[in-house]
Amino acid sequence: MTSPGGQGGGALSVRGGATSKRMKWAVELSLGNSRSRSDRQSKDGDVMYPVGFSDKPVPDTSVQEADRNLVEKRCWDVALGPLKQIPMNLFIMYMSGNTISIFPIMMVCMMAWRPIQALMSMSATFKLLESSSQQWLQGLVYLVGNLLGSALAIYKCQSMGLLPTHSSDWLAFIEPPQRLEIMGGGMVM
Amino acid sequence: MAWLVVRLAISLSLLYTASAVFEDQVGKFDWREQFVGKVRFALFDTHSQASKKLLVATDKNVFASLNSRTGDLFWRHVDKTGPEGHIDALLMYGQDAVVVVGNGRLLRSWETTVGGLKWEAVLDTGSFQAAALIGVQDFVKYVAVLKKSAISLHDLSSGSQIWVENLPDSDTVQYQTIYSGGNGLVFVLGFVPSSHIVIVEYKIEDGEIMKKKSVEAAWMSSLENSCAVISSGNLLCVDQITQSLYILPLQSAEHTEMRQIHLQTLDLEVASGFQPVLTSTQPNPAQPPLAEFFLQLSPDHHILLQLKDDLIAPLRDFNPSYLAAFATSGEKTVAAVMTPKNETACSINLFSADTGRRHLDTTIIYHMDPNGGKPNRLYVHAFLKKDDSVGYRVMVQTEDLTLTFLQQPGRVVWMREEALADVVTMEMVDLPLTGTQAELEGEFGKKAGKVQHGLLPMVLKRLSSQFILLQAWMAHLWKLFYDARKPRSSVKNEVTIDTLSRDEFNLQKMMVMVTASGKLFGIDSKSGTVLWKQYLEDIQPNSIFKLIVQRTTAHFPHPPQCTLLIKNKDTGLGRLYVFNPIFGKKSHISVPALPRPVLQTLLLPVIDQDYAKVLLLIDDQYKVTAFPSTKNVLQQLQDTASSIFFYLVDSSQGKLSGFRLRMDLSTELIWEVVIPTEVQKIVAVKGKRANEHVHSQGRVMGDRSVLYKYLNPNLLAVITESTDIHQERSFVGIFLIDGVTGRIVHEAVQRKAKGPVHFVHSENWLVYVYWNSKFRRNEFSVLELFEGAELYNSTVFSSLDRPHPPQVLQQSYIFPAPISTLEATLTEKGITSRHLLVGLPSGNILSLPKMFLDPRRPELISEQSREENLIPYAPEMPIRTEWFINYNQTVSRVRGIYTAPSGLESTCLVVVYGLDIYQTRVFPSKQFDVLKDDYDYVLISSVLFGLFFATMISKRLAEVKLLNRAWR
């Protein structure tokens, strides 16, 4: 799009790409102006990859003993995450108070939402913990932590008066009673 | 500190409730009509040619000046009600109007241009007989007031009394008339019934009796109407029994007997049973009256006669003629006579008074309203035209108190419906849907229980109605477009009966008003225009009216139906008048005859097959008549008879009795409460309004529990007053009685209290106002009833099954003003908080939040009471001028306030009636369901459009950018 030459070069390279199916390999000899697909990944377009180079990293599949400890530790971190947040939550709860205004509501929402979200994506977490030997214990701890977090949120809602636990919360739904007698009259006219 | 907190709390609570009208809202949704009442005296200001003033004095003790070009009020003075403010006489001379008030108690002179009081003189006691202006040498200087036993003369410019003289033999002689011909003498005419006439002559300067004589007149029964002074001091009387005229020169000494002229000699005859009336005219009080006079021989026969050389000669015979009146302009005196033209019109013609010749081209055609009454008074305003001929305008007053001002050749200049000064009862009826809306509704508006026919016709009908809707919408658009081209001022939304339709929020309704004179009105609540009127003839002056809406506009193909029960107080017999409240037309439904006096009515929620609610009429033998009484209705009544109860309160016997309906429409007495009449008498009983809805069944406490309301729909509030009126022993009693079982739910006695008691009974509360005779102040008291923390039965309410008495809370407050009426606001669903509308004698209507009248207002503030938003108790009730819903549009002599819900939950329609009528809307919890008047539509829509375009543009830009990146 920039210059006619460039456009031509681009077209040439596309043709090259299209024909790559037939040819086993092709070497692009033109330098400078040419923008091939691999060029786009490298920031400066004039670096040439050698033949056989792949820009995808190759995973290191060799497992070592020190890594296993690290994995265990990492898994415990994940499992204890919700529990560790509880003191912080308690502090926020205390600070935000029981008045109903935008900030406490936002905080309560956050507090309630995070454990629920975590519980919803439980399976993903389990997959994460798959590699650990204490997978089930960690899962349980994780679950308990999240349940505790949501219980805390519910408690906060309760203390803020957001839960419909009183009879007054259901007052608006009481239908007026039907009257059984018809009555009327008045002063003698 | 605590005091500070209390004040802070009060002012905070006021912040929430303060709701005044903004300046630009004035007249936007409210209107006021001012009335004067039945005109007793009307005088045109003939002082100058250009004057537009018409002075009227009415039976409502109102003295007012009307603009004779428009019919509007220039000014109005409303005096005390009752005999104390009664206007006895109205005299006018030049710029001054002299009025005698209160049976001769006061003499007042008013400046007529602005209505200012010039002077006021207190007169000696004695019942008033007559007043007259007295002139001396072509100048009117004095006013003479004749009382039963004395005559006094006052200076016209200052009101100072010149002299007062006792009348001779005032215990036997009835003095009734004063006459002065401007010659320095005042004649007082009196008579002894069936014996003789007494003439006393006073000198103007010092009140010295110059002469006193008595003349035989055995036939005399009254001086006032049958006698008149004509032509330089000749007393002329007419007598029906002897069929003669009697004449006597007042000043001559030699006549000791009245000269008798048989009417037969003039070829005249007085209709049998009719008291003939003589009408003379004295254009200038300083000069003797004219020699011409009218003699009315029968209700529709007048004759113009002239006294000439001691002989009476007829000038012109008006047969038939309804009304006749004299009028003077400059030197010319004319007579206007109204004669019937055809069934619906009368013609008024002008005749020269001294010759009886008809003036050419002076006919005014007066079209009588077919729904109105007959004309009964004629007031003529004569003026000189540029060519020196006499022109005139007339004001006609009819039996139904309509004032019509006409000018040649019969153009109605203005009209006033003075019957509206005395509204007795009213109802508001929803307007019908428009033709198009009704067309749609028509699909569903079949008779109850009829089967729909065929699929295809229904589809076709739906299609055709949709097409009509489309047509109407196009027409509406076209009209909008058409109106938009015209200048704003010329587009005027004239409300007529044909264009009436319900608006979006049902804010515009039809006000059906019943007046004491027996005239019914249908008034558009938005503009105050009288849309229909109907005069019911032969209504006794003290009849009792009860207006019932039997069918609303909700049942489309059936017209709405109102029933008016009119009960004659003397005979006790009643009759029903059934009409369509939208068009005012009488229905052709057969109405049950009521051979026995009706004691009460009861409107049942039971409907007949035409959706009309059933009205039960209870007669004095406690038999019930149903209206309508079709087979269907009777069947339904038999089914439900065991649950229909009614109560009657007989104030004279102090008895409340409850009845139950039997299958055969007879009744059985089931309870009776007797309140001994020696101690106290029942003054008022009120149940709850049938159309009241209570949204919330309880109140939320500070600890978030519920205090359930005691909502007994059958509860009656009975107010009694003690017969002992000594201020230490008088009391007001309040009984809350269940109307089904007769059980007294609560009883309270307010000691050292006096009536009149005004009260409102609604939801679970009763608010009443009384006079505290110990502390000499008005007090509000509120009673609230609660069931407690548990509902006994939340699904059905039966008075027969109520084992637990309610908890009763009460609190009282000082109200710093007397009140004249009390009513509560009413809304569609009862969600909006309630306000009390208090009519003050000053004419203001105070909208008092019910929140202030709450027996749970704490004396000490606690956390819980703050949670409940309770205002701390303060004994004084504030009156804030911004709570006056009618700002400066005061309503004189408020008699009643009518409230009706509108289609908007926030809005309550209010009509205040008394001498004036005022209509407005109130928003007790502000307009939470409508955008404000000053809502910035331009800003909001421009922001919206701006954002919309910004998104469009940025979306496009983003696309371009993405594409660019894709190319790179």
**Phi, psi of B188, deg, nearest 5:** -115, 125
Whether the CB of A99 is below 8 Å from some CB of chain B: the reply is: no
For residue B65, the cross-strand partners are B55, B75
Cβ contacts of B637 on chain A, cutoff 8 Å: none
Query: Could B740 and A171 be called an inter-chain contact, meaning their C-beta atoms sit closer than 8 Å?
Result: no
Nearest Cβ partner for A181 among B648, B651, B714: B714
Nearest Cβ partner for A174 among B647, B789, B794: B794
Whether the CB of A3 is below 8 Å from some CB of chain B: the reply is: no
The span from the CA of B155 to the CA of B164, in Å, is: 12
Query: How far is B398 from chain A, CA to nearest CA, in Å?
Result: 30
Residue A39 pLDDT: 46
Identify which has the larger pLDDT, A8 or B75: B75
Whether the CB of B795 is below 8 Å from some CB of chain A: the reply is: yes
Interface of B with A in 538-577 (CB under 8 A): 544, 546, 567, 574
Residue B453 pLDDT: 64
Strand ranges for B501-543 from DSSP E:
509-515, 519-524, 530-535
HEC sequence for B301-360: EEEEEEEECCEEEEEEEECCCCEEEEEEECCEEEEEEEEECCCCEEEEEEEECCCCCECC
**Phi, psi of B32, deg, nearest 5:** -135, 135
- Given a cut of 50, the residues of chain B with pLDDT beneath it are 1, 12, 14-18, 445-451, 490-491
Cβ contacts of A185 on chain B, cutoff 8 Å: 600, 602, 618, 646-649, 739
B contact test, residue of A35, A43, A160, A187 with most B CBs within 10 A: A187
Task: Establish, for the pair of chains A and B, how many residue pairs have beta carbons separated by less than 8 Å.
Answer: 120
Residue B542 pLDDT: 85
**Phi, psi of A188, deg, nearest 5:** -65, 125
Whether the CB of A174 is below 8 Å from some CB of chain B: the reply is: yes
Whether the CB of A166 is below 8 Å from some CB of chain B: the reply is: yes
Nearest Cβ partner for A181 among B618, B643, B685: B643
Cβ contacts of B650 on chain A, cutoff 8 Å: 187-188
Computed over its alpha carbons, how large is the radius of gyration of chain B? 34
Give which of A71, A67, A86, A76 is closest to A139, Cα–Cα. Answer: A76
Query: Could A189 and B544 be called an inter-chain contact, meaning their C-beta atoms sit closer than 8 Å?
Result: yes
A contact test, residue of B598, B795, B800 with most A CBs within 10 A: B795
Strand ranges for B529-676 from DSSP E:
530-535, 544-551, 561-567, 574-579, 598-607, 613-619, 624-627, 644-650, 655-661, 667-674
Residue A62 pLDDT: 62
Whether the CB of A43 is below 8 Å from some CB of chain B: the reply is: no
Query: Could A177 and B711 be called an inter-chain contact, meaning their C-beta atoms sit closer than 8 Å?
Result: yes
Query: How far is A178 from chain B, CA to nearest CA, in Å?
Result: 4
Cα dihedral: B36, B879, B927, B505 (round 10): -30
**B109 near B119, Cβ under 8 Å?**
yes
Whether the CB of B700 is below 8 Å from some CB of chain A: the reply is: yes
Whether the CB of B788 is below 8 Å from some CB of chain A: the reply is: no
Query: How far is A10 from chain B, CA to nearest CA, in Å?
Result: 10
Whether the CB of B646 is below 8 Å from some CB of chain A: the reply is: yes
Whether the CB of B967 is below 8 Å from some CB of chain A: the reply is: yes
Query: How far is B469 from chain A, CA to nearest CA, in Å?
Result: 38
Query: Could B795 and A178 be called an inter-chain contact, meaning their C-beta atoms sit closer than 8 Å?
Result: yes
Indicate the DSSP class of residue B833: P
Residue B18 pLDDT: 47
Query: Could B700 and A186 be called an inter-chain contact, meaning their C-beta atoms sit closer than 8 Å?
Result: no
Cβ contacts of B600 on chain A, cutoff 8 Å: 184-189
Residue B854 pLDDT: 92
Strand ranges for B675-729 from DSSP E:
680-686, 698-700, 706-709, 715-722
A contact test, residue of B598, B600, B708, B961 with most A CBs within 10 A: B600
Query: Could B794 and A181 be called an inter-chain contact, meaning their C-beta atoms sit closer than 8 Å?
Result: no
Residue B487 pLDDT: 62
Residue B19 pLDDT: 59
Query: How far is A157 from chain B, CA to nearest CA, in Å?
Result: 15
Residue B769 pLDDT: 95
Nearest Cβ partner for A177 among B685, B794, B968: B794
Total Cβ atoms within 10 A of residue B705: 13
Q: For chain A, how are helix, strand and coil distributed in percent, rounded to 5?
A: 60, 5, 35
Residue A69 binned pLDDT confidence (cut-offs 50, 70, 90):
confident
Query: Could A177 and B600 be called an inter-chain contact, meaning their C-beta atoms sit closer than 8 Å?
Result: no
**B261 near B312, Cβ under 8 Å?**
yes
Interface of B with A in 326-385 (CB under 8 A): none
Cβ contacts of B693 on chain A, cutoff 8 Å: 176
**Residues in chain B, total:** 968
Whether the CB of B641 is below 8 Å from some CB of chain A: the reply is: no
Cβ contacts of A180 on chain B, cutoff 8 Å: 643, 796-798, 800
Residues 6+ apart with CB under 8 A from B149: B126, B166, B167, B170, B171
Total Cβ atoms within 10 A of residue B665: 16
Whether the CB of B604 is below 8 Å from some CB of chain A: the reply is: yes
Query: Could A179 and B713 be called an inter-chain contact, meaning their C-beta atoms sit closer than 8 Å?
Result: yes
Closest residue of chain A to B693, computed from CA coordinates: A176
Residue A1 pLDDT: 39
Closest residue of chain B to A172, computed from CA coordinates: B696
Query: Could A185 and B567 be called an inter-chain contact, meaning their C-beta atoms sit closer than 8 Å?
Result: no
Whether the CB of A181 is below 8 Å from some CB of chain B: the reply is: yes
Query: How far is A175 from chain B, CA to nearest CA, in Å?
Result: 8
Average pLDDT over every residue of A41-66: 67
pTM equals: 0.84
The span from the CA of A153 to the CA of A115, in Å, is: 9
Whether the CB of B650 is below 8 Å from some CB of chain A: the reply is: yes
Percentage of chain A lying above the pLDDT 90 cut: 1
Cβ contacts of B602 on chain A, cutoff 8 Å: 184-185
Cβ contacts of B711 on chain A, cutoff 8 Å: 176-177
Query: Could B698 and A171 be called an inter-chain contact, meaning their C-beta atoms sit closer than 8 Å?
Result: yes
Indicate the DSSP class of residue A65: H
Query: Could A177 and B795 be called an inter-chain contact, meaning their C-beta atoms sit closer than 8 Å?
Result: yes
